[in-house]
């Protein structure tokens, strides 16, 4: 396999959006900084905005590494693995940015994620990625796994806290990255 794509065409878009989860990788500029890899899932939280642009809903988490790294340098890689069907890995590499709820384009972007109102309490940002490289690799060593379903703990946690409680959590846990980079103010 091992090929690159000029853009996210219809077959690639169909394959990507059929995958139930993906991984996000970012890193700070500092040599001694920590590289971050985060799994992402939940139906409806990822969209393809155009042939070279994708976005996902950044739900509240215990850390703020992705947002902090994007604010510092913008480098990001998204990766999908086929856990069913033919073996395949797809990476989308490029520059990303976190669009925060107070930003001008937030509402327009949020409208691209239909049927996600149940996730809005814990929604921290929308990560937009402008791709400069898309590539396949074989995935021969990726195990076959069966999807049982989405987990609902994160959504229930945010709902129990309410928006004010989530924002208090951000103030306690999401102000800086593990390397001390600015996160959510």
With respect to residue 57, please indicate whether it lies within any of the assigned structural domains: yes
Task: For residue 54, tell me if it sits in a domain.
Answer: yes
User: What does the alpha-carbon distance between residue 155 and residue 119 come to, in Å, rounded to a whole number?
Assistant: 6
Write the pLDDT tens digit of every residue in 148-159: 999 999 999 999
CB 170 within 8 A of CB 60: yes
Enclosing H/E stretch for 70? helix 65-72
Among 133, 24, 149, 18, smallest CA distance to 86 is for 18
Task: Count structural domains, the chain.
Answer: 1
Q: Report if residue 22 sits inside a domain.
A: yes
* Spatial CB neighbours of 3, under 8 Å, sequence gap ≥ 6: 135, 136
Low-confidence ranges of the chain (pLDDT < 50): none
pLDDT attached to residue 185? 84
Which domain does 113 fall in, by range?
Answer: 4-173
């Amino acid at each position: 396999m091992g090929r690159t794509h000029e853009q996210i065409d219809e077959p690639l878009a169909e394959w990507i959006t059929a995958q139930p989860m993906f991984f996000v990788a970012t890193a700070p500029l500092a040599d001694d900084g920590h590289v971050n890899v985060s799994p992402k899932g939940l139906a409806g939280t990822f969209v393809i905005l155009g042939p070279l642009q994708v976005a996902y809903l950044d739900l509240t988490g215990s850390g703020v590494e992705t947002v902090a790294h994007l604010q510092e340098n913008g480098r990001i890689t998204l990766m999908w693995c086929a856990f069913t069907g033919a073996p395949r890995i797809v990476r989308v590499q490029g520059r990303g940015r976190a669009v925060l709820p107070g930003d001008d384009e937030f509402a327009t972007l949020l409208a691209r994620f239909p049927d996600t109102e149940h996730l809005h309490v814990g929604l921290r940002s929308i990560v937009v990625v402008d791709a400069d490289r898309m590539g396949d690799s074989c995935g021969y060593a990726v195990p076959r796994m069966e999807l049982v379903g989405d987990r609902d703990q994160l959504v229930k946690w945010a709902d129990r806290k309410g928006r004010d409680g989530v924002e208090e959590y951000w103030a306690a846990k999401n102000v800086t990255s593990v390397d001390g980079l600015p996160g959510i103010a």
